[in-house]
Structure 1
């Protein structure tokens, strides 16, 4: 119907012309059979032409719809579609090609700018580590209560700097990814040692006796993820009798590393949003300790590494975060 509506003017002009011609023939007392014959000679070719064009265009658009449905990136249509034979299709094809080329240049421009910005951030991170190292050296040579407090703040600054660095690399994990055998017990002990002063100063006990197992992944990225998760466990721990329990559970096809605390917990309405970028939730507004980046970054990095990440929590009882390590053929043979 839409196709016929598009050709209404063409058909209307032909009908008007035929009526005029047939009227003139009637005035000339010509036989009605001749008028009918002229009608058939006039409109059968028109009808055949319209019908053939309809099916040709229907086949073309069905093919394009099929291509679009099977494409993950819809903007690649001009790259994979065939050049149509009719003049309208050719014009549309050329316009799409020009639009695709222009879009490709714009995307390349923004990608280059993003890469430049990321390279600048990485350079800045490495440069700022020099004055931080110098500050640490000054602190080591001047031990007192003030320098110890400064050292604690320096540690927080270093953690935020690491967060910036890993955030800038989070879309390109494959370029900085080294797979090797990782002992979960050694990995957890390394992160605990890194945060030992915070555990002691806050009076938080730690239980890592049930951590065992070996996985294959990137040690550096895993250490950053665990440091973020353990840091959250400490951040929202109870002021008295705080406790963090880290353990592993080996299943048939995976190893699950869980980090559980007995802290303040998370309200039900916030649990499904904790991995959203910038989401701080009720705890973040109440205590002012959250940036909404840590868990988002952990979720993004675990997905890049092919791991699973989930969270369960109850208000007043604590929070449990689980990292799922799928076991490959090497692990299963071992």
Structure 2
């Protein structure tokens, strides 16, 4: 707040006083009062007014500077009224009380929506666990009745399980800290588990897997890592070539990190889509062409990787393949942000 803005806000008050002074000065001139008396009247009239205005300006400027300083260093801006001092002037007190009431009402609404969100998430998680029972029964029936039809049904059941898993991880993605366990994870064992999960897809499409260069140990949550790696490898399978496809998985240890690289020689991603693959719901040209993309897989991978303190980078060239790098920082245990 500048002095110019402050005075402009009090223009009417100053104009009224100046107009009254002009009128009184005119009357004094008409009755032949000495000019020195008129000048003295001006000083007596306007000096206290100017002093008052300057004192109020300094007080308000200090208050607004303090508020701006608090806002600049406050992560949760809505907590301003909990930290700021209650103003001394009547206008400031009234505004402070209004802000407190508005803030209290906002908190009540936020808590209400948070409770509704928690109830919805709990319902989704319960539903996911309940749906696993009929799926397990379906798998058992398929195993006891092996034929071409049941094998096809088994593949569709696998897709259903993957979508259900995606729903579960999506519902928990904003509360990862309540569902993670940091421990030592062997990258080779992790990759082998994911390869085993997708073995039928690799066999049916004739895709060659090279995991000989995978080694190293990191500290993270094995379950969340397996979901991320499975999503990436699943994409490498889905958008790969028939019969001459290849997926190469390797690790590189650098001074500050270990990088797990998953590379395929599939159809690749066009340049205009590569910058948006981590956006929620984005399917791109490949997703529309193949009709199998939800636009949530890579979005969840990026979100979970960030919360686990990991880096996730994707590069691609149309017609040549895609490379995804999962970066594990070295040092102390990779804790959540």
TM-score where L is the length of structure 1: 0.97
**Is 1:279 aligned to 2:291, yes or no?**
no
CA distance in 1, matches of 2:243, 2:141: 34
In 2, the alpha carbon distance for the partners of 1:114 and 1:22 equals 71
Match of 1:262 among 246, 261, 265: 265
Aligned to 2:182: 179
CA distance in 2, matches of 1:306, 1:190: 22
> Could you report, residue by residue, the CA deviation over 1:148-205 in whole angstroms, capped at 9, with x for unpaired residues?
1001100000000000000000011110111111111111111111111111111111
Q: Distance in 1 between matches of 2:285 and 2:76?
A: 38
In the TM superposition, 1:80-119 aligns within 5 A as: 80-119=83-122
Q: CA RMSD in A?
A: 1.2
**Could you tell me which residue of structure 2 aligns to residue 2 of structure 1?**
5
Q: What residue number does 2:252 align with?
A: 249
Q: Does 2:296 align with 1:293?
A: yes
Residue 135 (structure 2) aligns with:
132
Q: How far, CA to CA, are the matches of 1:36 and 1:253 in structure 2?
A: 78
Structure 1 counterpart of 2:305: 302
- DSSP-derived class of the 1:172 partner: helix
Q: Distance in 2 between matches of 1:170 and 1:112?
A: 17
Of 212-221 and 283-292, the range deviating more from structure 2: 283-292
Q: Write the distance in 1 (CA, Å) between the matches of 2:18 and 2:319.
A: 82
Give ranges in structure 1 of 5+ residues lacking alignment: none
**Aligned match for 2:81, one of 78, 81, 84:** 78
> Within the alignment, does 1:55 sit opposite 2:58 as a pair?
yes
- Measured in 2, the distance between the counterparts of 1:314 and 1:35 equals 87
Q: Which moved more, 1:1-10 or 1:47-56?
A: 1-10
Give me the whole-angstrom Cα distance separating, in 1, the residues matched to 2:289 and 2:140: 36
TM-score, normalised with respect to structure 2: 0.96
The residue aligned with 1:150 is: 153
> Which whole-Å CA distance do the structure 1 matches of 2:142 and 2:250 have between them?
35
- The secondary structure found in structure 2 opposite 1:257 is strand
The aligned counterpart of 1:223 is 226
Distance 1:134 1:231 in 2: 25
Q: Secondary structure at the match of 2:219?
A: strand
Distance across 1 between alignment mates of 2:177 and 2:241: 38
Q: Alignment length, in residue pairs?
A: 331
CA distances 1:199-227 after superposition (whole Å, capped 9, x unpaired): 11111111111111011111111111111
- Structure 1 runs (4+) deviating above 4 angstroms are none
- The question of whether the paired residues in 1 share the 8 Å contact of 2:220 and 2:333 is answered with no
Aligned-pair distance for 1:330? 7.0
- Separation of aligned partners in 2, 1:293 and 1:174: 20
- In the alignment, the residues of structure 1 paired with residue 312 and residue 28 of structure 2 have an alpha-carbon distance, to the nearest angstrom, of 85
Q: 1:85: Cα distance to partner?
A: 1.1
- Whether the 8 Å CA contact 2:208–2:246 is kept in 1: the answer is yes
| Aligned match of 1:312 | 315
